[in-house]
Structure 1
Amino acid sequence: MSDHPALHAAAKTGAPVLCLFVVDDTAGRAPGAATRWWLAQSLRSLGAAIAARGGSLVLRKGPAAKVIGEFARESGARAVYWNEIAQAPHRAVESQLAAMLARLGIGSQSFPGDLLVPPSVIRTKDGRGLRVFTPFWRRLLSLGDPPKPLPAPKQLRPAPNIAGDVLESWRLEPSKPDWAGGLREAWTPGEASARARLRDFLSHTVRRYVGDRDRPDRDGTSGLSPHLRFGELSPRQIWHAARFATDDDPALGPGIAKFLSELGWREFCRHLLHDHPNLATANLQTNFDGFPWKRDAKALAAWQRGRTGYPIVDAGLRELWHTGVMHNRVRMVVASFLVKHLLIDWREGEAWFWDTLVDADAGSNPANWQWVAGCGADAAPYFRVFNPQLQGEKFDPDGTYVRRWVPELEDMPARLIHRPWQATPIELASAGITLGKTYPQPIVDHAKGRERALAAYTTIRKG
C-alpha cells in the first residue's frame, strides 16, 4: 500500500474508496504457476492491510477495461484512479478504459507506475530507446533521485460493500498435487515481509554484497525481486532507502552502488519491453532468426529436472523447482548451458523460468535470456561459453551449494564435487555414487559442446 500513487490520490480526496483488483488473461502474458501461487498470497496480505484501514478489496476477473467500467458504474464511482504499466497491452487497456469512463461521465486519472523514470524520458536523438546498459544507466543517474515514495494511507473511508469473486475460485494455488511446499518454506509474500527484507539487507547483507552476490553458497543477495515483481515494494522505495543508508554510513557505498545498478538493469529490461512488446518471442537481433537451434526433448527434460550431470547446473534447477528462485550467478551458468552446450532455443528456457520463477518478470526474464543467447540488447559475446565445472569451483569452492540441492553428492570431497566424472571408482564408491544410476553422467562433453556452439554462432554471424 505504500508508494501507491493512485491509492494515495484517491484517499486524499476524502471520498469513500473501493479497491479493485482485476485478473485479465487477455492483457499481457498469462502468469506462470509459481507467480500465480505468489499472487494468491499477496492478495490475501493486501486485502488484510486494506481492511485494517477501513477499506475493502474487491476481486474480479475478465477484460480489464470492461470490468472496471462496469464496476465504476455499479458502485456509483465519481472517479477511477490507477497506476500506469508501460507495456503495450496495458496501455491499450488504459486507453479503452479512459474512453469508456469519459462516455459514462466518470472522471479518471493515471499515475506513474513501478518504474524509476518513464521510458519516454530516456531516448536517443531519433526517439528510440537505448540498447546498451552503460549509457542507459548513466542517463538515469544524471536525472537525479526519483520522486520520494508516498506513505500508505492511514485510513480509508469505507464504501458500500460490492460483491466480488472469492479468491479461491480463481484456482491460483496448486492442490492435487500440492507442489508449493518449498515456496511456502522459502517465502512470505506481502508488503510487511518485503519491507523487513529490505531493512535486513541494508543493515547487514549489503556490506558484503560486492563480493558475496556471486556466491550461491552464501546469503549474499537481497531476495527482493519477487516483492518488486508484485509491487509489494516499489523501486522508488528501494532507491531512497538505499541512498539514505549510504548517507548514514558511507562505508556501504560500494555495495549500495552495485545494488542500485542491479535495480537499474531491471529498469533497462522494462524499457526494452516497452519498445519491444514481443521480447519473449522475437530475437532483438534479427540476424539470429536463422540460428540452427536443436530440438532435443530428452536433453531439455534432463535440464529442467536438474539431471544434466553438471552439479552446479543441476543444483540451480533443483533450487528453482523447490524455492521458485535461482541464484543470479547460477542463472547465467544454467542458461548458458542450455543455449550453448545443448544448442536449445533460448525461448524454451525462458518459458521454463516463466513458469517456475516467483520473480518471473515480463521484462527481465526474456531480456536476460536473450542476453545470454547473444541475440538481445547489450548481449554477452557469443564466444562466452561458461564452463560449468570451473564456475562451480570458483563460486561454490567447498561445494556447499551443490550439497544442499544435490544431496546424492553430499559425501563427495570438495575437490571433486564439481567434476564427479573425474573421480576414481574407489572415490565414487566411498561417496556412495554410481555414475549413470545414483547421479547422471554429463549429458554433453564441455569441450565438444563449446566447439559445437562456437561453430553454430560463427555460421549465423557469417550469414
Structure 2
Amino acid sequence: MDDVHQRDKSPIIVWFRKDLRTDDNRALASAVETGRPVIPLYIREDNSETGPLGEAQAWWLHHSLTALSAQIETCGSRLILLSGEAETVLRQIIKDTGASAVFWNRRYDPAGIKVDTKLKEVLSKDGLETASFAGALMHEPSRVKTKTGGPYRVYTPFWRAIEAGGEPPEPVDAPEKLPAPKTFPRSEKLNDWGLLPKLEWAADFSRRWEPGEASAREKLEDFTDGTIDGYRESRERTWEAGTSRLSPHLAMGEISPARIWHATRGLSKADSADVITFRKELVWREFAYHLLFHNPDMPTESLNRKYDKLGWTNGDDDFDRWKTGMTGFPIVDAGMRELWRFGTMHNRVRMIVGSFLVKDLLIDWRRGERWFRDTLVDADPASNAMNWQWVAGCGADASPFFRVFNPITQGEKFDTDGLYVREHVPELADMPSDWIHHPFEAPSAVLAKAGVTLGETYPKPIVDHAKARDRALAAYRNIKDAA
C-alpha cells in the first residue's frame, strides 16, 4: 500500500518530440490531470532520423524550443534539455527524480516507431508506466482501412473515408499550471547544441518566420479571419500570401491538425469550396503518413519499383545549377532561390521545380527529396517523400510521368505579371511581363533595355525544354515497354 501511495505522488516525465506545444497536447494534459508532478523533457536523440531533418529545420527547432521553454516557465515549470540515446536519458532521470511514468505523443515515422516500441517494452518490464497518445494526426494510420481491410493507395477514397468518419476529437486546451517536482534534473543549455546553421544562408529566415505555438495560433487566426476566403484559387498565386503558412508549425508540432480543423469548423462558410479545399490539404498530409506507415521505405524507394529502371542521367553540374537557381528558367530559379533564402517555397512552384529536376534534367527524385529535407523549414518525412514521388510519377496515386510541366507556361499562368520572379531573381526585375518567363526568346533590344545579358547577368537555359520533354518520355516508354 505504501508503494502505491508513493507512486501516486511520483513525477511523470512528459517527453516532447515533434509536438512542441502546450495546447492540444494530450500527453501533457493527461499528466496534469493526475495531479502528480510533471517533468517536461526534450531529448536531442542520437538517432538523427528522429530530430530535425536538416539544417533549416534545426534553425526552427532552436527557436521553437526557446518559445516552448518560455511558455512552460509561465506555467510554473521548466523544460529539461538533454542529449543522448532516449532509453539512457530516461533511465537517468527516473533514477535522479523517482519518476515512475513516461508519457508521450505517438510518432508515425519508421525511426520514431522503432525507438518508441522498444522503449515501451523495456520500461514496462521494469515496472514503469508508459502511455502514448494521439495528436500528431487526426486519424490513426493503422485504423483507416479499405473495405477489404488493407491500406489506401489512392487519395480520393481515403478522403471520402475520413469525411465519412466524422469529426476528429475536440482539441484540449493548454494547462494553465504545471505541477513542478521537488527537484528538477539537470538540463543542458540550448545554445550548446549548435542548432543554428553556421552558414549565413539562414540569415533571412526570421524575416519570414517566427517559430513557436503562439505564432502558429496567430497565423491560424489570421487565416480563418480572412485569408481562407478565396483560398481555392489564391493558394495557386505565387505573388500573394494566399496560403495559411502553417506547414512548418505543423511539422514541428507547434499546432495540432485537430486544432486547425476545428478552427475551420466554426466558420460561417464551413461548407464552402475554400474550406473544403483547405481541409483536403490537411487530409493530404494524413494520407502521406498513412502511406509512410504502411511503406516505411517510402523516402528512399519508389512505391512503383519499375521507375528504378528509368535511365537517370544524374548530372552533378545540372543538379548544382538547379540547387542554386541558375537553370535559366526564371520560375524554377525563383523557387530555388526562395527556398535557399527563406527555407520555404510556394507549393505550386515546388511542383514546377520538382518536375523540372526529374523530367527536364532526368535526375533521380531522391536527390531532390534529400535537398528539400535539408533546406525546408517544413521538412516532413512523410509529405516530402510522398510529394516527390507524386511529381516523379512513381508513388501512390501519383501524377503520371508523362505529365511534364512546361516551366514557361507554368510561370505565365501562376506568376502572370512576374512579381514572384522579380522578387527572387532581381537581375530580371526590369524585364517586361511578356518576356520575363522566357528571356532567352526575347529580342535583343528588350534584353538590353532591361539590362540583361544572357550568359553573363542571367544564365542561358541549361536544356531545351521541348527536347528534354521528348527525352523524358522516351525514357518512360522504355520502362513501360519493358514492364
Q: Considering only aligned residues, what root-mean-square deviation do their CA atoms show, in Å?
A: 1.3
Correspondence for 1:321? 340
Instruction: Encode CA deviations 1:29-79: one digit per residue, 9 max, x unaligned.
Output: 562000000000000000000011011111111222332233223221122
Query: For residues 232-247 of structure 1, what are the structure 2 equivalents within 5 Å?
Result: 232-245=254-267
Correspondence for 1:4? 25
Q: Distance in 1 between matches of 2:299 and 2:90?
A: 28
Q: Distance in 2 between matches of 1:10 and 1:137?
A: 33
Residues 288 and 383, structure 2, Cα contact 8 Å, conserved in 1: yes
Correspondence for 2:164? 142
Following superposition, the deviation at residue 398 of structure 1 comes to: 0.5
Residues 114 and 235, structure 1, Cα contact 8 Å, conserved in 2: yes
Correspondence for 2:173? 151
Q: Is the counterpart of residue 275 in structure 1 residue 294 in structure 2?
A: yes
Q: Distance in 1 between matches of 2:430 and 2:461?
A: 19
Correspondence for 2:228? 206
Q: Distance in 2 between matches of 1:18 and 1:147?
A: 26
Instruction: Encode CA deviations 1:98-131: one digit per residue, 9 max, x unaligned.
Output: 2232233221211113011101121234543111
Correspondence for 1:131? 153
Pick from 100, 115, 122: which aligns with 1:100? 122
Correspondence for 2:69? 47
Following superposition, the deviation at residue 96 of structure 1 comes to: 2.0
Residues 214 and 329, structure 1, Cα contact 8 Å, conserved in 2: yes
Q: Distance in 1 between matches of 2:48 and 2:127?
A: 25
Farther off after superposition, 84-93 or 406-415: 84-93
Farther off after superposition, 104-113 or 128-137: 104-113
Q: Distance in 1 between matches of 2:44 and 2:149?
A: 33
Following superposition, the deviation at residue 27 of structure 1 comes to: 6.2
Pick from 237, 245, 253: which aligns with 1:231? 253
Tell me the secondary structure at the aligned position of residue 207 of structure 1.
coil
Following superposition, the deviation at residue 253 of structure 1 comes to: 1.7
Structure 1: unaligned runs, 5 residues or longer: none
Q: Is the counterpart of residue 163 in structure 1 residue 182 in structure 2?
A: no
Query: For residues 27-66 of structure 1, what are the structure 2 equivalents within 5 Å?
Result: 28=49, 31-66=53-88
Q: Distance in 2 between matches of 1:64 and 1:27?
A: 12
Following superposition, the deviation at residue 146 of structure 1 comes to: 0.3
Q: Is the counterpart of residue 173 in structure 1 residue 173 in structure 2?
A: no
The letter for the 1-side match of 2:193 is W
Q: Distance in 2 between matches of 1:63 and 1:127?
A: 36
Residues 391 and 398, structure 2, Cα contact 8 Å, conserved in 1: yes
Following superposition, the deviation at residue 87 of structure 1 comes to: 2.6
Q: Distance in 2 between matches of 1:8 and 1:69?
A: 23
Correspondence for 2:18? none
Residues 27 and 90, structure 1, Cα contact 8 Å, conserved in 2: no
Following superposition, the deviation at residue 252 of structure 1 comes to: 7.0
Q: Distance in 1 between matches of 2:172 and 2:109?
A: 23
Residues 55 and 374, structure 2, Cα contact 8 Å, conserved in 1: yes
Correspondence for 2:379? 360
Correspondence for 1:308? 327
Correspondence for 1:67? 89
Tell me the secondary structure at the aligned position of residue 21 of structure 1.
strand
Q: Distance in 2 between matches of 1:425 and 1:297?
A: 31
Following superposition, the deviation at residue 25 of structure 1 comes to: 3.5
Correspondence for 1:398? 417
Q: Distance in 2 between matches of 1:170 and 1:126?
A: 48
| Closer/same/farther in 2, CA of residues 93 and 161 from structure 1, 3 Å limit | same
Q: With structure 1 as the length reference, what TM-score do the two structures score?
A: 0.97
Q: With structure 2 as the length reference, what TM-score do the two structures score?
A: 0.93
Q: Distance in 1 between matches of 2:228 and 2:89?
A: 43
Tell me the secondary structure at the aligned position of residue 120 of structure 1.
coil
Q: Distance in 2 between matches of 1:341 and 1:29?
A: 33
Q: Distance in 2 between matches of 1:279 and 1:251?
A: 34
Tell me the secondary structure at the aligned position of residue 101 of structure 1.
helix
Q: Distance in 2 between matches of 1:426 and 1:289?
A: 46
Instruction: Encode CA deviations 1:118-156: one digit per residue, 9 max, x unaligned.
Output: 011212345431110000000011110000001101101
Q: Distance in 1 between matches of 2:147 and 2:82?
A: 43
Sequence identity (%)? 49
Following superposition, the deviation at residue 91 of structure 1 comes to: 2.2
Q: Is the counterpart of residue 377 in structure 1 residue 396 in structure 2?
A: yes
Tell me the secondary structure at the aligned position of residue 290 of structure 2.
helix
Q: Distance in 2 between matches of 1:332 and 1:220?
A: 17
Residues 104 and 133, structure 2, Cα contact 8 Å, conserved in 1: yes
Q: Distance in 2 between matches of 1:89 and 1:66?
A: 17
Q: Distance in 2 between matches of 1:163 and 1:119?
A: 37
Residues 67 and 211, structure 2, Cα contact 8 Å, conserved in 1: yes
Tell me the secondary structure at the aligned position of residue 71 of structure 1.
helix
Residues 69 and 100, structure 1, Cα contact 8 Å, conserved in 2: no
Residues 84 and 112, structure 1, Cα contact 8 Å, conserved in 2: yes
Residues 65 and 96, structure 1, Cα contact 8 Å, conserved in 2: no
Residues 24 and 135, structure 2, Cα contact 8 Å, conserved in 1: no
Correspondence for 2:4? none
The letter for the 2-side match of 1:180 is A
Instruction: Encode CA deviations 1:439-460: one digit per residue, 9 max, x unaligned.
Output: 0011001100110010011111
Residues 72 and 80, structure 1, Cα contact 8 Å, conserved in 2: no
Q: Distance in 1 between matches of 2:401 and 2:407?
A: 16
Residues 5 and 111, structure 1, Cα contact 8 Å, conserved in 2: yes
Correspondence for 2:8? none
Q: Distance in 1 between matches of 2:434 and 2:50?
A: 44
Q: Distance in 2 between matches of 1:277 and 1:25?
A: 20
Q: Distance in 2 between matches of 1:55 and 1:100?
A: 28
Correspondence for 2:7? none
Q: Distance in 1 between matches of 2:248 and 2:341?
A: 15
Q: Distance in 2 between matches of 1:29 and 1:234?
A: 18
Aligned positions, number: 459
The letter for the 2-side match of 1:18 is I
Q: Is the counterpart of residue 20 in structure 1 residue 35 in structure 2?
A: no
Structure 2: unaligned runs, 5 residues or longer: 1-21
Farther off after superposition, 253-262 or 72-81: 72-81
